[in-house]
Structure 1
Amino acid sequence: MADTPIHDTLRIHSFASTEPGPRLIVLGGVHGNETCGTVGIERAVAELDSGALTLLRGQLTLVPVANPLARRLMQREGERNLNRSFRPSAAPADYEARITNLLCPLLDRHEVLLDLHSFQSAGEAFAMIGPRDNAGMLEPFARAAEEGRLALHIGTPRVVEGWLDIYAAGLAQRAGGAPADDAALAFGWGTNEYMRSRGGYGVTLECGQHADPAAPDVAHAAIHSALRLLGMVAGEAVAPPQPALLRLVSVTDRDDDDDQFVREWATFDPVAKGEPIAVRADGRVLHAERDGFVIFPNTEAQPGAEWFYFAVESDRRL
């Protein structure tokens, strides 16, 4: 944490039609080294400013860089991960908490969120959605159909569900099986979890690998797709074929700098039951417990941090 507060200004572009309609907010640069969302948003802002794109109804807010400090550093985090513990705090203890206090009121004024990201490993773009409708304690939700429809229209070949469930399971795993308390679970909250807690819904779009030259195009196209789906701009919203839907079922932390993958994995690489995935520093081999897919393999993970996720095919349809 910095010894003195870092002062910053968020650049926020807001557009409001005289016709009532949906309220959509689009975030880019929640992580500083993920630039594709920023580029996609800047293109959309230029189109709106020039008149090439017209907002016909509703309200649209675009935030190109949600974490200015992390962007200046061109790294994932400024002082910590902005996409954790994402809720207001009366006494913000770090830079990201102060930024969260600015972003939360923005999200409160909207009902739909599109959060644009990219990832470290190779792999195709995909969308992440929240839980199915439920009245449980972890993440009660009643807008799964709308959220799934948004993910479907974004048009990625894959959609992934199960983030908060697997985050809670990961906490229990680290605690030797003990269930996580509310404060620990709240650390798993990101922008979408906050949006759902406020009665809205949201989709995270992982636009591809950080340096993929096509990733900004994916981000830009997704903004247009969301606006068409919500009837906020002209054009027909055409749903592509059903994507492959996967469910996260486990997360594995890196314990030591000498923990190594058995090969260079890409997100969505399939693995068969029993296939080796990684080797611990002490020589223990980590095998796939069932047929599935490696998600977010991170060769740069620090000890104690998430190293890779594992997903299986889901029976859900959007």
Structure 2
Amino acid sequence: MTELNDLTPKHAAVLVASQSVADAELVGKLLQDEFHNVKLSTKSEFAVDDFETHRPSVLVLAFDTLDAAQRYYIGLYRMSTVVHETRHRVVVLCNKHDVWTVYDLCSTGHFDDYVLFWPATNDAPRLRMSVHQALRIMAAKEQAGDVAPRAAPAGVNAPNKQPAKPVEADTDTVFVGLQAGGAQPAQTAPGTHAPAPKAASPAPQRLAVLIVEDDEFQQKLIGRLMNGLDIDVLFAGSGAQAIEQMWEHKPDLVLMDVGLPDTNGVEATRKIKSIGQFGHVPILMVTGHSERNIVVDSLKAGAADFLVKPFDKNTLHEKLRQFLPGLAV
């Protein structure tokens, strides 16, 4: 028999899942003023335990990509023995590029609601209202006698009556969007943890480096120094273009020129680092001089290191080795 939950904002269980501790904390803070039982789940090895321990009435997927949110949610259904019987509704946070896709997913029942949230939280009350609405819908269904758990996502088979072993096939990609390592999540699952997904051999992904430089000659020069590397080289000629490239391509490293036509490299670095999804991406400042104030301001903005012009191929490759450990140079 399905257990009924207290669906009032004071007691209703809300779980925020994300690959980023900073993003999860941001979303958690926005909710905690009105919902008093909010927990966070940010580590892949505890994803199933966090859900099974908290048994949320509302699951908020705060991933940086829609694909990562889908992998996480399908992964729960493949590896958890209780998610199938847990009454809950799912709210997914998305960016403007994914609005129509996530709309289709919600309209077909894969998710229940979405909030246009990234990169700027322009409508924070919308997130709270979505959670309120989810609880109201669940309460109305309960009052009408409909206490059936939500249907599994498309492509996930219903469980057998006997608890099944966690599915090992393809689990290496299920939680790839979750952050491995980093700070412990606010939700600490007690007892014995479920085993982490077995590591397989995922298809290798090419690394990408974004060069933010308005001078076309310098773009070509730096790009030429990277010829022959197993790497995708992206270009942006302004701070605004840099932000667009970050969202579109998710580069692994940024080379940021100090002087840009619409802003300066320090301010552009600060803006990129203020976006939770990109906080881990190293940014190397590229400058023709190394005045102390530029160095200090760049470090305060979140820069990881510097490249002083003119630099040669060996110097650049050494920096790439340092900040892209997976790159064969």
TM-score (normalizing by structure 2): 0.31
TM-score (normalizing by structure 1): 0.32
Relative contact order, higher structure (CA 8 A, sep 6+): 1
Greater helix fraction, Structure 1 or Structure 2? 2
Q: Tell me which structure has the larger Cα radius of gyration.
A: 2
Greater strand fraction, Structure 1 or Structure 2? 1
